[in-house]
């Protein structure tokens, strides 16, 4: 687990190594990210050994940086331990379900970390702002969600809630970039366009959500995300700090000797097999 001393040194190194316009130098970012990803792997081993159940909720406006954060979290860890849940609209599910049922079905089993790319807080955010859910149902959700989460944490689930806060100007810049970039256009949905004009409606919904669901058992933490590199590093560092993991020591494995039993000339004859075309 990262100690307070090592974390302090980490912060000093980041502040000393700014690039242009105060942005983090790429080499410094990549080194810091590598160190944090090593810690994620150590945390992963603890989660498996302790059979822990971890839920990480990532919320925020469109373009806040959730997908990029998930990518760097999952880059070096096992997909058997870290699982991402990004549920579509309830209308896309053919079976009518209770609202929370859709999420509970995705909860982690023992030894698993589940990252919700948007969560049950859809009800307090996009569903409310775009009037996809009647207001009485939204109010009922806000009245009960804190108690639901207290039940989760009292059952032993580690619940971490992050709100990625992007500024108005930065959100517009990122959305315009999606419009012009063919490799990002898939990220731009009709719902994103509908949401863009409702900035202050989302702000009010966010404020009411915080008021109703920021509680000691599962507090909200806000992550400024205009600077993507710093946001990713700060997010991973925070997640690690919220999980009481320890470094699990393993005996260093040794490769066994290969047996020569049944030895034969096993090299493929490339003239007799179908090869993938060498275009590059």
Spatial separation of the C-alpha atoms in residues 104 and 12, rounded to whole Å: 41
Please give the domain boundaries of the chain with CATH numbers for all domains: 4-241 (3.40.50.300)
* Continuous segment of H or E residues that includes residue 130: none
- pLDDT for 5: 41
Does the predicted TM-score (pTM) go above 0.85? Answer: yes
> Residue 190: its pLDDT value, please?
78
Q: Can you tell me which residue has the tokens 């806060």?
A: 165
- Other C-beta atoms closer than 10 Å to the C-beta of 209 total 22
Q: Give the residue ranges of the chain where pLDDT is below 50.
A: 3-6
The per-residue pLDDT for range 70-127, each reduced to its tens digit, is 999 999 999 999 999 999 766 655 556 789 999 999 999 999 999 999 999 999 999 9
How far, in Å, are 6, 25, 47, 210, 218 from residue 69 at the CA level? 22, 18, 20, 22, 20
Residue 109 Cα distances to 80, 114, 224, angstroms: 11, 9, 31
DSSP 162: E
Tell me how far apart the alpha carbons of residues 278 and 255 are, in angstroms, rounded to a whole number. Answer: 33
Q: CA of 145: how far to CAs of 37, 211, 223, in Å? A: 32, 11, 21
pLDDT at site 8: 52
């Amino acid at each position: 687990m990262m100690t307070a001393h090592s974390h302090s040194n980490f912060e000093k190194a980041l502040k000393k190594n700014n690039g242009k316009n105060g942005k983090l130098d790429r080499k410094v970012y990549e080194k810091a990210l590598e160190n944090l990803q090593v810690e994620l792997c150590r945390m992963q081993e603890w989660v498996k050994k302790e059979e822990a159940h971890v839920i990480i909720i990532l919320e925020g406006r469109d373009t806040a940086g959730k997908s990029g954060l998930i990518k760097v979290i999952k880059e070096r860890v096992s997909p058997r331990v870290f699982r991402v849940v990004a549920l579509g609209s309830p209308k896309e599910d053919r079976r009518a379900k209770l609202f929370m049922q859709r999420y509970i079905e995705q909860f982690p089993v023992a030894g698993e970390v589940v990252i919700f790319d948007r969560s049950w807080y859809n009800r307090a955010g996009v569903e409310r702002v775009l009037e996809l859910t009647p207001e009485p149902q939204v109010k009922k959700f806000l009245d009960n969600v804190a108690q639901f989460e207290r039940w989760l944490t009292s059952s032993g689930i580690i619940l971490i809630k992050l709100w990625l806060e992007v500024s108005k100007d930065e959100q517009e810049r990122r959305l315009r970039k999606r419009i012009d970039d063919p490799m990002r256009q898939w990220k731009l949905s009709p719902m994103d366009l509908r949401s863009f004009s409702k900035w202050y409606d989302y702000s009010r919904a966010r404020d009411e959500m915080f008021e109703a669901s920021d509680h000691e058992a599962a507090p909200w933490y806000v992550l400024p995300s205009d600077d993507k590199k710093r946001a990713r590093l700060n997010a991973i560092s925070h997640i690690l700090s919220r999980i009481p993991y320890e470094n699990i020591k393993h005996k260093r494995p040794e490769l066994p000797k290969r047996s020569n039993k049944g030895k034969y000339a096993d090299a493929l004859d490339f003239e007799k097999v179908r090869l993938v075309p060498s275009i590059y």
